[in-house]
Amino acid sequence: MVIPGWQSLSYFSDENNLCWFLEPELGKEIVRVHKVVGNAVTQDRYIVVGTGSTQLYQAALYALSPHDESGPINVVSTAPYYSSYPLITDYLKSGLYRWGGDAKTYKEDGPYIELVTSPNNPDGFLRESVVNSSKGILIHDLAYYWPQYTPITSAADHDVMLFTASKSTGHAGMRIGWALVKDRETARKMIEYIELNTIGVSKDSQLRVAKVLKVVSDSCGNETAKSFFDHSYDAMYERWKLLKQAAKDTKRFSVPDFASQRCNFFGRVFEQQPAFAWFKCGEEIVDCEKFLREEKKILTKSGKHFGDELSYVRISMLDRDTNFNIFLHRISSSSNSTL
């Protein structure tokens, strides 16, 4: 794509839109791709664009927290939870919100915000809220609710839903995410946060993502070639098949088992094949991350960062073929030798 040097000079993209820095072309393609895939309701929703879903998460916390003198609201999520949630939540030591820990063990009275990541990062399972209190406010992080990772069983219909280009198409470097927000006042406050934080979002990145999403949606209507999601599904299916076989052969490691469901997008039944493997070492290995790093020369992220045990690690399933094949070789090797 070509972006002329004179284009996008202004802060404003659409002064008639509540989210005045959202490029109209991006808004159109976001609605289109969700309609094609069938993974989220966009009708009667406000689209808020952000610099990745990280900024949108911060904007949602700002928008949903009580702005009075009641003190910071607790933010919780079911363990294992995304490791950056506690760090991002407490980084600025805000007087509006604070990290409250594992939602499964949360017992405090009063309002709270619960993060529901589905499919979950790191373990890949589908999630629902667990605190079940009328005082709860929910944020649904649906970054991985795309058909290459999980069956699309219905169009998600929640008050605040977060998506990102980094997980839907793999274009993490463009730093674009979007939120689908039901309530106008919540959307307005999220936009206010982004306005104060970065005075909008890069237009060049928005135009690139709009182009990418258009190509993805176009590919789904091409009957002579594989769609983007078909290609991505096949790649994830093959990698998970190889990883499961390697874990089975070694008997020292295990990965989760998932239930199969029918995907409305593909029209077939399959099980989750997440972007990350929630890898567990056998009982004889106390610290899985340390063992894999020192004995197998494999870099992972320990379960302790996700609110879980040292016997777990998170491993990316999205690396390049060469690196993924080296990883398989090393976990399959009975010796400590490396490539």
pLDDT of 1 reads 83
Burial of residue 153 (CB within 10 Å: 0-12, 13-18, 19+) is middle
- Residue 336 predicted with pLDDT over 50: no
Is residue 85 a contact partner of residue 99, using CB atoms and an 8 Å limit? Answer: yes
Any idea which architecture 24-220 has in CATH?
3-Layer(aba) Sandwich (3.40)
Q: For residue 334, name the pLDDT band (cuts at 50, 70, 90).
A: low
| 5-31 per-position pLDDT tens digit | 888 889 999 999 999 999 999 999 999
Residue 280: beta bridge partners? 254, 312
The domain segmentation of the chain, as residue ranges, is: 24-220, 228-332
Q: Is the pTM of this model over 0.75?
A: yes
Query: Residues 182, 159: contact at Cβ < 8 Å?
Result: yes
Residue 131 contacts residue 112 (beta carbons within 8 Å): yes
Phi and psi, residue 50, nearest 5°: -140, 170
For range 257-285, the mean pLDDT:
96
Alpha-carbon gap, residue 255 to 273, rounded angstroms: 11
* Pick from 59, 89, 8: nearest CA to 196: 59
Percent over 90 (pLDDT), the chain: 89
CA atoms within 13 A on the CB side of 123: 19
What is the topology classification, in CATH, of domain 228-332?
A: Aspartate Aminotransferase, domain 1 (3.90.1150)
In which order are the strands placed within the sheet that holds 301-302?
253-254, 276-281, 312-316, 301-302
CA dihedral (193, 194, 196, 198) positive or negative:
positive
Give the per-residue pLDDT at 70.
Answer: 82
24-220 and 228-332 agree in CATH topology: no
